[in-house]
Chains A and B, each alone.
Chain A
Amino acid sequence: MSRLADGDATSERSAAALALAEDVVARALAAGASEAETLVTTEDAALTRFANSEIHQNVAETNIGVNLRFCVGRRIAVVTTGRADDDGLRALVERAAASARSVEELEDWGGLPGPDGSHRADAPTIGYADATAEASPEFRAAGVRAVIAAADAVGVLAYGAFSTSREGMAVANSKGVRATHERTTSQLLTVHMSPDGGTGYAEVAATDATTIDAAAIGREAAAKARATEHPVSLAAGDYPVVLEEYAVLDITDMLGYLGFSALAVQEGRSFAEPGKRIGSELISVVDDGADPAGLPMAFDFEGVPKERVVLVENGVCRDVVYDTQTAARDGRTSTGHGLPAPNPYGPFPLNMLMDAGLTPRDELIGGLDRGLLVTRFHYTNPVHPKLAIVTGMTRDGTFLVEGGKIVGPVRNLRFTQSYLDALARVTAVGRERRTLRGFLGGSVVPALRIDAWTFTGATEH
């Protein structure tokens, strides 16, 4: 079971971070700022990495960042420092004041956010576990040894990483926003490789590292590494597919990156439009920083509480996410999805959850007459962003399915596929979901069956 925060330790750290943020805001106002905002981030992070069934890299860091947004009317400068001592902070404010005097006005500056009715100065410690914050090198090494033991049991080698981190965030601004939060995350991932060319993957992310069953992750990857030995070539073409959760994560991340951002809509480069059908009726996606199934965040990097935003409801696009600046342009309020300033990339959904369906895993595969089971994607990249056409490779477990049964492994394939077209052709959604960490944060996703996926090439393994 997940233990919640040790109130004393977290509140002491949070109070110190908030006091630092308030101090910098006060210094900025004294230096001539008309508005000021300070974001303080702290981190104690560690990662134990293994390859060839031994630990080869094992690291830890203690870090702090102070981010000051210094406004003189509509002239805005952002300065950051890793020096939180008096000299460092004084230099920070001096640099900010000098920069703000040098820049042009931001014509449509919407101002800093203020505290509203939903503001939570005493954010609950969702997404925090003492066990993760205090995880030791020995704890991570024990997890790695369990993964390696699962590999040894079937004669394959293990490669992967086990990370644990505590992240603190405090925001204060001159309009009265005061927000602090501590969260923890842990991730264990592994690729197992067999001497006969098989590879298998497994991964899990959690708030509480002690909930991770390292041996089970090791067994999942080991079984797949053996099952993918001696793959055969398959011609490129359109095939129905079942995508495991690891592959589905790339779809939600990529669509979040390309389209579910108010800035992308405002600049005309997004596919998203409220009321527009962009997927099958089986598909619903929300962004919810408070859902404990994911990797929660209480508020964004502007101190705005995170709203639950329905991105896709039964296949229909409902909304996109906003930060303060994009909200001002549209006459709305921020949904709590701002990134650290300055942010030319706009807001992003960092806590996406796709609804589970009704179909057990076996029936997802059982519904394929002839198609492919894909474990995960590798090195995906947009080819045509507005159509969400993406290319990438399959990796670590690609199987031919015939008559609803797995026939055997195939060599990895390249695809060039519109992720929107794929969502429109979803025919079944998995009943189970996994919590995973992608490039846009923590996501919760099920497996999907899709009736056509365009593979455009093959490789030699």
Chain B
Amino acid sequence: MRDLTERALDTAAHLGAAYADVRVVRRQEESISVKSGRLEGVASGESEGFGVRVLVDGAWGFASSHRLDLGEAERVAGLAARIARASATALRHRVALDDRPPARGSYTTPAEEDPFAIPLERKIGDLLAADRVAGAVEGVTFTESSYGAQREWKTFAATDGSFTEQEITHLGAAVEANAIEGDEHQRRSYPDAGGGWGAGGYEFIRGLDLLGNAGPRAEEAVALLTAPQCPAGRTTVILDPSQLYNQVHESCGHPTELDRVFGTEASYAGTSFLTTDKLDEGFRYGSDLVTIVADATSAGGMGTFGWDDEGVAAQAVPLVKDGIFVGYQTSRETAPRIGRGSGGAMRADGWNRIPLIRMTNINLQPVGGMSLDEIVADTDDGLLLTTNRSWSIDDRRLNFQFATEVAYEVKGGRMGRLFKNPTYTGITYEFWRACDAIGDASSYVMLGTPNCGKGEPSQGAHVGHGVSGARFRDVQVGVGKW
């Protein structure tokens, strides 16, 4: 491997690159899908290739190929340099990178049971068993369950002498029950729509207890068909972790990406309301209870690694402290523009994509005092919203609207009726300022999503979110005509 990385870097340097890095990535994937108690599909895949990123004449160029040989390394490095020179014909500011020590070492995701070594029959059996429990509930129209695992071997080398090797394993699973009657289609998922995902081994899947949760979720899906529509109005909402992590993702994770703030995602996903003047002024993002950290060292998180894809070591970066906006997720190029060093947030979706600022683990810190159950018991009148169903937020990350699979009425500290089709909407900073309770460490869980989209060409990222549930006052619920 060193032969290839050295040939690529030497070629880039010979062609005038002031800096170059190369990543060689091999990815192994496996997926199982089950529908209505029968196996629908089994797939396994592998891909490998390398990408070369160069800085020539102050401009970036990147090229990549699936062919891992020395001749191709030369061709691709040469193409990257040519692309960089084309970039330089439309350049207004030369790229400058922060200093960091050369990165050296290796990292492997801690795992007890290698998911790729578990016999396929066993994994299929585990999934089918849970799916069939959900499908056995009377009134369920169809069930859908899934399992997925991904392992990436990643070698990074740069002209500054950096050389790291990482092996990162993520996996997830879900069971989903659907109940349909007329125009009403209700769904309950466990642990999450799209799957509960994390970093680790097959012990993570066993820990989900799909079998034990499939039945109760399926019963709720059927019950929702005859449940009343979630009433509209302003009320107190409690978000459990399966919805709260999406709220953190969209309304804190994305707006604190510094590349968005500088406009480099403007034409696709948009920009951010958290402009750099708000960092300087100490903008109040949320209530005093709200502390949020981008932590690439969190156990079990899908944003956990040894080094990012620029060779910056994993670290914890405060974003919001006691409600005040204090920091961004950054890269070696963006961080110096606010007078800081890189926070190590650059990751690429495989060998054929450039690294972008991507969320690591964006964690809402637990607050001592009440567990999530105790927050419910402490609430006179409101709704507990569970499991994301739909999400949308504007191009500066201010106006959001979410739908969840279910709302539970909360009266006098007790959970009551189910409501169907709940939605809620708000403005990011008004919402977080209205947060008056966050669950304690006993309710804290590490969740995440394997499909955070960003960039052109599009890239998916696996990101983590540690959350414990939280309560928000005076929130608009029940949006639209039903």
Which A positions have Cβ atoms within 8 angstroms of B? 45-65, 76-83, 95, 98-99, 102-104, 106-107, 136-138, 140-141, 144-145, 148, 157, 159-161, 163, 189-191, 193, 267-269, 341-344, 378-387, 389, 391-393, 395, 412, 414, 416-417, 454, 456-461
Contacts and interface: CB of A to CB of B under 8 A. Distances in A.
B62 interface: yes
A383 B480 contact: yes
A273 to B, nearest CB: 12
B392 A391 contact: yes
B42 A59 contact: no
A269 B184 CA distance: 9
A165 to B, nearest CB: 9
B47 interface: yes
Contacts of A161: 267-268, 456
A60 B62 contact: yes
A382 to B, nearest CB: 6
Contacts of B45: 79-81
B299 interface: no
A137 B83 CA distance: 6
B472 interface: no
A59 B62 contact: yes
Interface of B: 31, 33, 35, 38-49, 51, 59-67, 76, 79-80, 82-87, 89-93, 119-121, 124, 128, 141-142, 144, 146, 178, 180, 183-185, 262-268, 270, 273, 352-354, 389-396, 398-399, 401, 403, 421, 423, 425, 427, 456-457, 479-482
20 contacts: A57-B456, A59-B354, A62-B64, A78-B41, A79-B45, A102-B124, A103-B39, A106-B38, A107-B38, A141-B90, A159-B267, A342-B41, A344-B40, A379-B394, A382-B390, A385-B185, A386-B185, A389-B480, A391-B403, A457-B399
B33 A269 contact: no
Contacts of B80: 60
Contacts of A81: 45-47
Query: What DSSP secondary structure best describes chain A's contact surface?
Result: strand
Given A82-B48, A378-B395, A54 B91 contact: yes
Nearest to B121: A102
| Candidate in B389, B392, B425 with the most chain A CB atoms within 10 angstroms | B392
A83 to B, nearest CB: 6
B394 A393 contact: yes
Contact of A267 (B44, B66, B141, B479): B141
A137 B82 CA distance: 8
B59 A55 contact: yes
A379 B354 contact: no
Contacts of B262: 51-52
Contacts of A417: 480
Nearest to A386: B185
Contacts of B178: 267, 269
Contacts of B180: 268-269, 386
Contacts of A393: 392-395, 399
Contacts of A414: 392, 394, 399, 401, 425
Contact of A145 (B90, B423, B427): B90
B65 A62 contact: yes
Contacts of A395: 270, 394-395
Given A95-B44, A378-B395, A379-B393, 4 more contacts: A81-B46, A342-B41, A344-B33, A391-B392
Contacts of B124: 102-104
A190 B90 CA distance: 15
B152 to A, nearest CB: 13
A51 B38 contact: no
B401 A457 contact: yes
Nearest to A380: B392
B391 A191 contact: no
* Nearest 5 Cβ contacts at the A-B interface: A342-B41, A416-B480, A82-B47, A80-B45, A137-B86
A97 B258 CA distance: 47
Given A62-B64, A191-B266, A386-B183, A342 B86 contact: no
B390 to A, nearest CB: 5
Nearest to A91: B46
Contact of B479 (A63, A380, A457): A457
A56 B456 contact: no
Contact of B49 (A63, A389, A412): A63
Contacts of B31: 342
